[in-house]
Amino acid sequence: MRPSGAAAVPIVVFDIVIVGAGPAGLCFARSLAGSGLEVALVEAQAEPDLADPPFDGREIALTHHSVHLLRQLGTWAQIPQQEIHALRDAQVLDGTALPGMRIDHSDGPRSQLGYLVSNQLIRRAAYAVLRGQERVTLLCGRRVTGIEPGAEHSRLRLSDGQSLQARLVVAADSRFSETRRAMGIPADSHDFGKTMLVCRMRHDQPHHQVAWEWFGYGQTLALLPLGDGESSVVLTLPHTDIQGLMAATEADFAAAMEQRFHGRLGRMQLTTTRHAYPLVGVYPRRFTAQRFALVGDAAVGMHPVTAHGFNFGLLGQDLLAREVLGLAAASGGTGYTRDPGDARMLARYGRDLRRATRPLYLATLLITRLYTNDAPPARLLRRAVLSAAGSLPPLRRAVAHSLMQAGDSRQATTPLRGLFHALRG
Ligand SMILES: Cc1cc2nc3c(=O)[nH]c(=O)nc-3n(C[C@H](O)[C@H](O)[C@H](O)COP(=O)(O)OP(=O)(O)OC[C@H]3O[C@@H](n4cnc5c(N)ncnc54)[C@H](O)[C@@H]3O)c2cc1C
């Protein structure tokens, strides 16, 4: 990989330009490395921020399929073992009712549902494995400011005045993707009107590597188990309430969290900085256009409650890379003689990604609407749904299996598709 500090960028013509070197863009570039394709990644942040990103509060729950993909990319080996935490089981609670629904690893074929790794470490590892890759050019500290699609190639304008040309442009520039908008792709977005606060806390009571999703009345709380006696705490409230908690002293914050958890975790203590994320879900009407494709959050901007944003980002970049590299293989080996922006290939990618992600995206909207509605009829309904789901073994097994499978991304199933197959079979 050429460093971004080079005085002049010698190549302005690429096969593929990726906009955005977040975790999805970095992983996609790594998937293409070694194919013979000339790839450029354009990133607004400075390169040192990619090499050593700061802690951002996000702990990413990874499915077994995602870990399988990260292993293939070499990224998994770059994450320190002691920073990878087991997500053994998950418990979903409603209001004060117990026991809610438990998704147990023993309903599936593995000893844990998934893994928890901080977003900071995933980003660092994704950058580390890209360093040294030939034919990958990283253009940091500059933004893509314009795009002109064309029949043979597309042109991109950068904020430093440079122009790039590519046969395929892939936007991985976040759920608020400017490149997607510039291409005229409409997106349905849903502002949940809430903000999510995330941080790490130590607590007296053990977590037994069980994640909690607790839909309380007036608040949603989640607990993601990390090392012994430490968890990631995730609190969703209206923005002004979150602002108050962000500004509170550490002692006042800890006291407030003990109270919000009804003392279930004993004494609690803040161990990291606090981070707040306004919640907006985004789903574009299509994932591709002429010589253009979306990956990562730019393609599917999930609400974090179902913990699938980056899992879908990894899945999507793998589906697209397989299409692009499949053409490379079909062209007979090392030389890439066919077109990485081939319209039929892009159409297949869009169809497969939609099939894999749309049901869970819509289900997540429904879940958040129902479980943040505290009106009495909604309370009755939400409790009934959770209790029915908890006593429906096919659903629990489908969710467990969908989290634990690993293999071909085109066969990857989401909990909803898994349930459909479980009920059919
Ligand atoms: C609180 C929270 C918890 C989460 N938990 C989970 C979880 O448990 N499991 C899970 O799978 N997912 C989870 N996610 C989702 C996950 O964090 C995201 O899906 C993932 O980080 C998105 O990566 P990305 O590369 O697509 O986008 P981003 O990380 O948003 O990166 C986009 C990049 O594009 C760059 N960029 C933007 N515009 C331009 C431009 N014009 N030119 C050049 N560069 C540009 C930006 O600088 C940035 O580096 C969570 C998210 C949040 C907020």
* Mean pLDDT, rounded, for 118-123: 98
- Residue 175 Cα, ligand 1 centroid: separation in angstroms? 7
pLDDT bin (cut points 50, 70, 90) of residue 425 is very low
Distance (Å, whole) CA 339 – CA 153:
10
- Check residue 350 and give its pLDDT: 97
What digits encode the pLDDT tens for the residues 174-226?
Answer: 999 999 999 999 999 999 999 999 999 999 999 999 999 888 878 899 999 99
Q: List the one residue out of 126, 50, 76, 119 whose CA is nearest residue 272.
A: 119
Say what the pTM is.
0.91
User: Relative to the CA of 277, which ligand 1 atom is closest?
Assistant: 53
201 φ/ψ sector (left φ>0, alpha ψ -120 to 50, else beta)? beta
Task: Report the separation in Å between the CA atom of 187 and the middle of ligand 1, taken as the mean of its atom positions.
Answer: 17
Ligand 1 center–CA 220 separation, angstroms:
22
Ligand 1 centroid – CA 297 distance (Å): 6
Q: Which residue has the tokens 């809430």?
A: 194
Q: Are 32 and 14 spatial neighbours (Cβ–Cβ below 8 Å)?
A: no
| Distance, CA of 73 to CA of 416 (rounded, Å) | 28
Closest Cα partner for 321 from 58, 51, 20, 72? 72
In this predicted structure, what is the pLDDT of residue 217? 77
103: three-class secondary structure by DSSP: strand
* Distance from Cα 419 to the centre of ligand 1, integer Å: 28
Segment 155-163 mean pLDDT: 95
Closest CA to ligand 1's atom 50: 304
Residues with a CB atom less than 6 Å from ligand 1: 19-25, 42-45, 58, 60-61, 119, 143-144, 172-174, 178, 196, 198, 277, 296-297, 304, 307-311, 313
Report the C-alpha gap between 359 and 94 in whole angstroms: 23
Question: When comparing pLDDT for 283 and 382, which is higher?
Answer: 283
Mean pLDDT of 270-279: 97
- H/E stretch holding 16 reads strand 13-19
